[in-house]
Amino acid sequence: MTTTTAMMTTTPAAISPVPNPGVLTIADLCANSTRKDYVGYSPYPGSCDQLLQCYFNPDNNLTLAVTRKCPSGKFWSQEKLHCVNSWEVECEYNPCATCGDGEPVAVYSGVRTFPMAGECRGFWACHDGKPHPQCCLKPFSYKPGLGCTLIPSCPGYCGPDQPCKDGIDVCSKVPDWDNAASYRIPVKVTNLYSMPCFYGQYSISHCACSKTEVDLLYGNGTCSPFFTSNEIDACRDNRTTPTVIPEPDNEGDARTYSFKLNISDPEAELILRSSSCGGKEQLKVWSVGNLVLLQKGDAPHPAVLTEVFVDADSDQKVVDVTVQHKGHLLTLSVNQGGLQHVSSVLTKDTPCLTCSVKVRAGASVGGDCSPVTEFKAYSCAALEENVWTTS
């Protein structure tokens, strides 16, 4: 990436329709994926820098799909099966082709520029219709329509200078289906070389060995919920009288919430909100079409959003949802009929909702009063990867 602090002029952005990737499911995407080293790779619908890695357990025919993201400024190449320079890929969703999806355009020396998602200093500069990543110099931040603007609060990292992020970046490790406490890495000589996890077992979703088992060994011995509720009533006035989740006895190093969500109700949602601990925090989970979405944040604070696919046409309308916040990683998992999709996003803060939490559900008028059932709250990392199921 290059850097700039030059002043930019602004022009109205051309309006381009948002690309419609169509109604797809994890089964479709993984079935049509290109396989390498026993892992399937598929472009992520509507995105240039994201992809799906599909993991197929041959022992139980279960599939786990994980959304991954290329390093900042890179695009996914399905032909080469790795991330390459953005201008080397023909992608119809690149910001120069979509005009930034309606974002205000900042122009410098006749070059159109658009913001780079998730980068306060990064932006795209369009040359011959191809996007080229650039960074504003410290302490400048890129603002749509304005260009590089002095904002000292912007983090220092930009583009390839950012550290590697387990659970976000493309993962080169391959599960060892015969031993969950190890993984394999591709090498030129022996094809795949086995590596042990010195603690816990290998987490496919986070592309790292999990510390959970060792942490529990010296803790309370089990990762069990500190709060359960069979159903979160959506028909009573739970905006003023929501269900209250007490503070856990053990603060723990993560917050995990698992529940069943009825996606047949187009207005089904779950909202977790905390106003204690000196601030306001909110998590919201809801379904739209063939997506289940997770949003962290509340106005006027910027929101963090991630999504996973579901099959809206499936007979199985009740799906298993898990939301986990550990460290700076916020993870959403949905399991539907043996197909599990996991997606993670980075947050600026460590686990949120660490104090008492109010939870409420929403549903359509006249719809199911219990769109959310079997709700559980944990103060530990309790995300399960069902692809490891042996029965």
CATH number belonging to domain 222-382: 2.60.120.560
User: Hey, is 388 helix, strand or coil?
Assistant: helix
The region, left, alpha or beta by phi > 0 then psi within -120 to 50, assigned to residue 294 is beta
Q: Where exactly are the structural domains of the chain?
A: 1-162, 174-210, 222-382
Asked if residue 6 has pLDDT above 90, the reply is no
Pairing of β 2-4 and β 130-136: parallel
Pairing of β 372-378 and β 269-274: unpaired
**What does the pLDDT look like over 204-228, one tens digit per residue?**
999 998 865 445 444 545 688 999 9
| pLDDT-above-70 percentage for the chain | 77
The more confident residue out of 8 and 295 is: 295
Ranking 56-60, 79-83, 169-173, 273-277 by mean pLDDT, the lowest is 273-277
DSSP result, 134-186: EEEPTTEEEETTTEEEE-TTS-S--GGGSPP-TTTBPP--EE-TT-TTEEEEE
Query: What is this structure's pTM?
Result: 0.85
Block residue for tokens 């991954």: 68
Sequence-separated (6 or more) residues with CB below 8 Å from residue 175: 55, 57, 183, 184, 202, 204
Average pLDDT over residues 82-94: 92
User: Hey, is 317 helix, strand or coil?
Assistant: coil
- Of 76-90, 153-167, 177-191, the range with the highest mean pLDDT is 76-90
pLDDT band at 152 (very low <50, low <70, confident <90, very high): confident
Closest by Cα among 186, 144, 164 to 69: 164
- What's the whole-number average pLDDT of the chain? 80
DSSP result, 8-32: -EEEPPPP-PPP---S--HHHHHHT
- Of 50-54, 57-61, 113-117, 138-142, the range with the highest mean pLDDT is 50-54
Asked if residue 290 has pLDDT above 50, the reply is yes
Token pair of 199 as six digits: 């603690």
pLDDT of residue 110: 79
Closest by Cα among 366, 308, 330, 381 to 24: 308
DSSP result, 188-254: TTTEEEEEE-SSS-EETTTTEE--HHHHHHTTTSS---SEEEEE--SSS-TTTS-EEEPPPSS--SE
pLDDT band at 332 (very low <50, low <70, confident <90, very high): very high
Asked if residue 301 has pLDDT above 60, the reply is no
Sequence-separated (6 or more) residues with CB below 8 Å from residue 92: 19, 98
pLDDT of residue 300: 47
pLDDT of residue 351: 60
Tell me, what amino acid is at 207?
C
- Of 256-265, 278-287, 355-364, the range with the highest mean pLDDT is 256-265
pLDDT of residue 12: 30
pLDDT band at 165 (very low <50, low <70, confident <90, very high): low
pLDDT of residue 302: 56
* DSSP conformation class of 369: S
Sequence-separated (6 or more) residues with CB below 8 Å from residue 213: 199, 200, 201
* 117 within 8 A of 304, measured Cβ to Cβ: no
**What does the pLDDT look like over 56-74, one tens digit per residue?**
998 888 999 999 999 888 9
The more confident residue out of 337 and 368 is: 337
**What does the pLDDT look like over 91-101, one tens digit per residue?**
988 888 877 55
Average pLDDT over residues 359-380: 82
